Amino acid sequence: MSERVSRAVSRWVAGALAAVLIAACGDPVERASVPAAPAVTVLAYGGWSVPPELRDAFRRQTGIELSVRHVGADAAALTEHLTATAGKPEGDVAVGLPGRYAKRALAAEVFAPYTSPEANKGQHRFTIDDQQRLSALDLADVCVNVDKRWFAARDRTLPTTLGDLARPEYAGLMAVPDPSRTEPGFAFLLATIERYGETGWRQYWARLRDNGAHVAPSLKTAYKQRFSGASASGSLPLVVARASSPAEELDGGTSPVTVLPDTCFRMVRYAGVLDETAHPDRAHRLIDFLLSQQFQATVAPTYGTYPTRERVELPDGWRNVAPIRTDPMTLPASDVHANERRWLRQWRAVWR
């Protein structure tokens, strides 16, 4: 065989061998690509997230990736976005809407009906829609918090009622987040409306104003800068904040902060499937997960709120210093939705 023929045969053999190897192994680029897992997108306002271990659990149980997209800094901004994109949602599920904003979103037909099989474990107690377009996600009771050490150091008696807060002996001692800018402040406003009625709540706020109550622009300012509690740097021993705040101050099983039960108002936050989502089945699976025992058990340590599901254990220490209130003040979400703008306008007229 000539050298030229020999080289030709060698090239043919090498080419045939390469073809066999490629056929056996497949295109390396094609083999490296893995189809992306299906995903479900949650729309929430800034700060709301799902712990990594729960994302992993949801993916293992359903095969679905969980993605959170933040829209705005608060529930008001989220609701504005949801109503502006009604029927053309930029996600599959929305979470974290308090009753007044939930009602506003329902009026704009933002959500689609869905009744989760998990919803009969206690969440049904907080239903605000006959079409079952919303599921109660968590509870955020708001109360007057008290720095017990401040009062003990001065041998002074703690207040107990809303009426006490307007008495001269508690003048200039309380910080309130602005009701027109914060949900805790608005909840406290609703508490005074529920307690004193349409004929008395404005007079009560006038008494608070004359008694030197401080209105802060945010909950963070009120609690961290005005309040004198353990983790705060202020000088005021009374502040409107969440009922769970004493649990954040736990020290050796006790807390220097307590709440006044007579002042507590219940806020419920909701989640729902967005109407016209391209992935309704995935959205339903996520709502089921959010209402499950597994997720609800993480609500308190993750969000500083309370689960809506019944018989969910609270973290160690919470039962003693931050139990779920059994008889908080409430107002129907429909009444709040119908009157909130008027009430805030009237409040501003009193406070200016």
User: Is residue 128 in some structural domain?
Assistant: yes
Instruction: Kindly state whether residues 213 and 252 are assigned to the same domain.
Output: yes
What is the largest distance, in Å, between two alpha-carbon atoms of the chain? Answer: 117
C-alpha span between 46 and 69 (Å, rounded): 9
Residues 206 and 309 in one domain: no
Across the range 72-88, mean pLDDT stands at 96
Same domain, 196 and 178: yes
Mean pLDDT, to the nearest integer, of 264-288? 98
Do 166 and 230 belong to one domain?
A: yes
Q: Is residue 97 part of a domain?
A: yes
What is the per-residue pLDDT across 166-195, written as a single tens digit (0 to 9) for each?
999 999 999 999 999 999 999 999 999 999
**pLDDT score at 35:** 67
Structure confidence at residue 73 (pLDDT): 93
Q: What burial class does residue 205 get, using C-beta atoms within 10 Å of its C-beta: 0-12 exposed, 13-18 middle, 19+ buried?
A: buried
Task: Note the pTM of the prediction, 2 decimals.
Answer: 0.88
Any domain includes 275 = yes
**Residue 18 counted as domain residue:** no
Q: What is the pLDDT of residue 251?
A: 86
Q: Is residue 167 part of a domain?
A: yes
Cα–Cα dist 328/349, whole Å: 28
Number of domains in the chain: 2
- Does 183 reside within a domain? yes
Range of the domain at 127: 39-139+267-320
Q: What is the mean pLDDT of residues 40-49?
A: 95
Q: 174 and 50, same structural domain?
A: no
Shared domain check, 235 and 103: no
289: domain CATH number? Answer: 3.40.190.10
| Number of other CB atoms surrounding residue 11 within 10 Å | 10
Residue 91 lies in a domain: yes
Same-domain status, 80 and 179: no
- Identify the band that residue 18 occupies on the pLDDT scale cut at 50, 70 and 90: very low
Q: Are residues 205 and 243 in the same domain?
A: yes
Examine the domain organization and report whether 214 and 135 are in the same domain. Answer: no
In a domain, residue 23? The reply is no
What percent of the chain clears pLDDT 70, i.e. is strictly above it? 89
Average pLDDT, the chain: 91
pLDDT tens track for 194-241: 999 999 999 999 999 999 999 999 999 999 999 999 676 799 999 999
Q: What's the average model confidence in pLDDT over 121-145?
A: 95
312 and 337 belong to one structural domain: no
Say whether both 311 and 223 belong to one domain: no
**Do residues 273 and 128 both lie within one domain?**
yes
